[in-house]
Chain A
Amino acid sequence: MATKQKYETQPLKCWGRAKEIRENFYRDYAQAHEKGGLRWAGGAWTFGAIPCGLGDDVWSITSEPYAASIAANKEFSMRCLEATERAGYARDLCSYMRNYWGSVILNEYLWGGPFPKPDFIWQDHICCSHAKWYQVVCDLEPGIPQFCIDVAVGPYNEITENKVDYIVGQMHDGIAWLEKVTGRAYDDEKLIQAVHNECRSTALWAEVCTLNKAIPAPLEEKTMYSLYVLGTLMKHSKIVADFYEELRDEVRERVANQIAAVPNEQCRLMSDTQPPWGFLSLFRYLEKFGAVSIGSLYTFGLIGVWEVKPDGTWGPRTTPQEQGVDIKTRDQALRILTDWNLSKPEWQHFYSPHLKTDMMVRIAKEWSLDGVMLHYNRGCEGLTVGIAENRLGLIEAGFPVMTFEGNMGDEREFDLHKTMTRVDAFMETLGVKK
């Protein structure tokens, strides 16, 4: 470390458990049939609590984190991307999608063996690609039934009964469809439990992120990626909710004892959108300057669910359990699930970059930031939408912004050394020295 150590640092005690949960997730999906269970595929954003009503032996694979894992394996990723291009799909499409399709086309599972074909697809449509991602999967692997829920009902501050009814109506249809394609009876109690788990886990993740307001920050973003990802795998599971509670307690302890993620912390940043997964060493490079990326709207708000607290600051949203809400019916569970998800920060930018700018400015202020690094991510139109307006808004609010162009899942569109040079220049601008 070039700059002088100011704080004590320690590895996370719960790190091993996080790794184990992730490994089990991919193994359980692949081995579902051996255990007599079912497997389904869908996005990390999908209403994963709903298929839980089919039983405890139903395992999923969420496509974005799976594709991000592929992206981190450069050799396999390149073969996947090239296989997709050979099949006729454009190179500028979502790189998660292209990595995922490549794995299907090659019939190779990242964790070994052939790609485990799902029994059904349970998706939601958040961007231009999400439903069509699986339309193509059905072309590549014919015969998989798919159901996709449209969630494009506008930002949370404009939600009406009509909009909620649209989503909940599709969910009810979806449950009838799940019963039909699996031949199983649906258990509302399991749904209700999964909704409780999801509210608990996503509020807990927001609480963990809130703790990062502390100086020094107890977590840095590279580590947070490995933790938040569990929510993208199964935010509706008790395993993840329990883990986030354990994590929250440990992070509280770190804050109380000034245990820093970056021991020479002297500059606080946030990023935006998914990072180039094959090049997370960029965050280690920041540390040479004592710069800590405390997170981003992406790491905070894709899984975390938030609310404005009485003191006007951002904190974890109060869960239905904490409010004493007793969920008794399927419809009630689905309405809570809908409302909860629509309030997620990372939904809002789809409708207005200006809402996203407001949230980013809030983070910049409340987390005491010195600057912002925006990843102009060629791999994801969904999270990059409006990013240029975010840049203008942050500058207008007085925060220095550095942009770098790249791709979360296609290494051909990212130049690490050029980006490091930009970091050098940004640090110089901020007056931060190694």
Chain B
Amino acid sequence: MTGTLRNTVDELRTSLSAHADALTDDALADDAPLGRKAALQRRIRRARNQRRAGIAGGVAAVVLVAGGVVATVSQPSRHSSSPEIAGHTMERTVTVTGFDYRLTQTGQSTPGQQRFTFHLPEVGPDRVIELLGTGLGDGWATLEDQDAALARVSGASTAGAPVPVDSTKHDVTVVLRDTRRDAQVGIAVYERDRSLPAGIDDGTAVFRTSVGSDSLLGGTWAAPGRSAVSFTVTGPAERWRVSGSCALPGAKPSRDVMLDEVVDGKSFAAIGCEPLAARSLDPGTAGSQPSRWPLTTGPHTVTVRLVDRGGHPVQVAGAVIGGAIYAVGQQRTVRGMPVDYEVPANGRVWLLDQAIPADNAEITGPAYVEAVLGRGDWRPTAQHLTDGDRDMELAGDDNRAGGASLAGLGEVLAGSTYRFWLEHGKDPAAKATILVYRPLG
């Protein structure tokens, strides 16, 4: 185990630094930024001209946005009744993947606006946004964030599910299409509050009772400042995984200390430690790869402990550590690979609905799409078949690890239809399978 720990993060950091330094030694000459500056000026000039051409083509749409394009965002009063937005009475709290979020801001358009922008401030906690609409008729409204479509409402479904939006200061845009002239849309912004869902918690973070279809078998948190803690679990469980949580004082992740996860005296996995200020409050969402052997009835002793890179136990003042074991939930085998039946993504829970050949799959939303790939170099493509959408930009996946590999392709919003296909770089006869998940509820 000692050698394993040393070789994991150490080798990575050394390799990355060495290659970056080698580039610095020679390729980054002192005058490189000057040459870069000249190249940038040419690029910016070219991009500015392209944008001007784009704006000219879009004049007709802009004219419709009379009275300014920025909708107001307001703070809901703590004392008033639940606020109404675009014809909807809003809940003051919503629950997303087990955590409660509190309504902090609302905003709505002027009836008839076709496109407008909401300014979002920088916030500390996680943030989700719900999109709402009224008077949409046969049309729809789409919430866009930095060129990505996040949520959509239509005449048939005028309230969307809350979707995560990053916490930085930035703008989001709502675009209306083919709606009635009196259509109005709004957004409700929620920030995560301090309450914790059911599970094993230390007052700040929690190993939730269930994560997707995985069930908590047992876990614990060490007393503040302790560097090791053990707990007991009983089986049976056909497949299981370990989740750990390790936070240390300091501003950066520790390079010297790791959390060793030991099951019945054998090291099962090791994870890095985060700064306390940035610790995950939901550590059960991550964890080791599922075990390859079943957990017998038991009991089984699980220990999480701080170790140095050599695998030797260490004490760290102010450390906060914990660990848990989850029984892996329902899975289905596709091309020899176990895939989750239930996956959390984009603030929702999705259930596996179809596994279809990946040579020409036409998928209508709402859907979350993944693919099981065989060995080799794969090129995924998603082409929109509905007006107003854009082709998705998908990254290739070069699966050289042997065995099947899982690749996320993305979400198809309600009202959109995309054709997906995957091409193998070398073998036209190679097969892949697309997994289509549908939203729960």
Are the chains A and B members of one assembly? Answer: no
